[in-house]
Copies of this chain bind each other. A is one copy, B any other.
Amino acid sequence: MNEAAVRAEVAGWLKANWDPALGLVEWRTKLAASGWGVPHWPAQWHGRDLSDGLVPVVEEEFAKAGAIGVAKAGIRTLAAATILAHGTDMQKAKYLLRILTGEDTWCQLFSEPGSGSDVAGAVTRAEFRGNQWVVNGQKVWTTSAHKAHWGLLLARTDWDATKHRGLSYFIIDMKQPGVTVQPLRQMNGYASFNQVFLTDAIVPPEEILSSVGDGWTVTNTTLMHERRGADGLRSWASGTDGAGRAYDEERAEIATTMEPYRWYPQRAGRVDLVMPQAVASGAIDDPVVRQEIGRLLVMAKSAEWTARRARTAKEQGKPQGPEGSLGKLASSNVARMAARVHTLIAGAGALLAGPDGPADGMVAEVLLSVPATSIAGGTDEIQRNIIAERVLKMPREPSEDTKKPFRDVPRNTVS
C-alpha cells in the first residue's frame, strides 16, 4: 500500500467509526479489530502488516480526526513488544488485546537490591515444584507495581549455569497472595517506585516466555524497546484536548499513569526556571550569576541541538553517528549544573523548602531530585562505559563473572 492509499483508507475508516462519545475500552476494542490501532503489527494480531515507515501517516490521520489511539503507557508497550517477539499464540491471545484497550496494566520486575546496574545478576529464584513455578525474591524500582495486573519477571532457574544462561522470563499475576508491593520512598519525598516481595509466588508453566534458560535473550528484547522508546512516554502524556466520554476517560488514564513521573521535570533540573528565578530575585544583576547561567544555557542548548541533530539524521536515513548515544549523559550533566545554578541564584533561599522556599518550593525539589538523573536508567558510569565500548570501540572490561557457574560468582549477601 502506498501512502496516499493508506491515508485515504484510514481517513475513511475514522470518518465512519470515530466517536468521542464512546467509552474508551469500547472504542479501542473496535480500533484493535480494525487493525488501525497498531498497523505495523501482524494482521493476525490486531495489526495490518504495515511497514514502520507508514505508521506516521496513520498517526497523522488520527491527529487530524482528533481520534484517540490504543493505550500506550510505558511498560504496557514493552510487554506487547516482548510477547509479540517471544510469546506463544495462547499468550498473544490472552494479553495483547487487553494491553491495547488499556484494561490490563503491567510492570517490569527486573532490578533487584543486589543488582542495579547489573540486571543479569538477578538472584530471585524460580523453582519448578509439582506442576508450577514457585518464585522467591525481591525486586525494586518497579513503577506502578501496586496498580499492575501482570509483571514481566526475570528470575534465576539454574544456579549451575553461567550468569546469563541461568535466567528465565515469566509473566506473573501481580494480584496473588505471594506478591507484596511496598512503596519505596525517595529522598525527595515522592514514592514513584515500589519494592515487590515475592514469597512462594506462583507462575503456571504456560506463562514462561521463550524457554527455560533463555530469559536473558527475552530481557534484551524488552530493554531494547525500552531504550528506543525512552521518549514515547512523555510525548504521549500530552493527551488529546477535546470534549466527550472517550476524551475524559483518556485524561483520567493519563493522570493515573503519569502520577509516578510528577517530579521528573525537577530531576531534569528545570532549566526553564533558571532565568525567571534569576530575574525575579534580582540575581541576574550579578555578573557571576550571569556567567553561571550562561554556562548552563550553552550546555543545555547544545544538548538540545545534539538531540535534534541525531533525530534529523535518523529521519534522513543516515547511519547513527556518535551524537545519538550521548543524550542520557548530556541530560545528566545539564541537570547537575542546573541544580548548582539554582542554588547560586537562590542564595539563602536554598535553605528553605515547600511553600517557604523559592518558586513555591520548586527549587528545593530540583535540588533533591537531580541526583536521580545520573543514576536511574543506567548510571553515568554505565553510560560512559557504553559510549566507550559501543561508539568508540574501546576494549571491554575483562569479565570476571560470566564464565563460571553462577553459584560461584561473588555477589552481595546484603542488599
Chain A residues near B (Cβ < 8 Å): 286-288, 291, 398, 400
Contact = CB atoms under 8 A, between A and B. Distances in A.
A286 B287 CA distance: 8
Nearest to A286: B287
A24 to B, nearest CB: 55
Q: Which 5 A-B pairs have the closest CB atoms?
A: A287-B287, A288-B291, A287-B288, A288-B288, A398-B398
Contacts of A287: 286-288
Nearest to A400: B398
Contacts of A286: 287
Contacts of A291: 288
7 contacts: A286-B287, A287-B287, A287-B288, A288-B288, A288-B291, A398-B398, A398-B400
A255 to B, nearest CB: 45
Nearest to A398: B398
Contacts of A400: 398
A404 to B, nearest CB: 15
A398 B397 CA distance: 11
A32 to B, nearest CB: 54
A226 to B, nearest CB: 32
Contacts of A288: 287-288, 291
A167 to B, nearest CB: 26
A291 B398 CA distance: 44
A292 to B, nearest CB: 9
A279 B39 CA distance: 71
A378 to B, nearest CB: 23
A103 to B, nearest CB: 51
- Of the candidates A288, A398, A400, the one having the most CB atoms from chain B within 10 angstroms of its own CB is A288
A8 B400 CA distance: 65
A291 B287 CA distance: 10
Contacts of A398: 398, 400
A331 to B, nearest CB: 26
A291 B295 CA distance: 15
A287 B287 CA distance: 7
- Of the candidates A286, A287, A400, the one having the most CB atoms from chain B within 10 angstroms of its own CB is A287
A290 to B, nearest CB: 8
A287 B291 CA distance: 10
Nearest to A290: B288
A144 B286 CA distance: 52
A400 B397 CA distance: 12
A398 B401 CA distance: 14
A83 B30 CA distance: 93
A34 B291 CA distance: 66
A66 to B, nearest CB: 52
A406 to B, nearest CB: 20
A288 B293 CA distance: 13
A275 to B, nearest CB: 18
A286 B290 CA distance: 13
Nearest to A291: B288
A20 to B, nearest CB: 57
A286 B398 CA distance: 51
A411 to B, nearest CB: 16
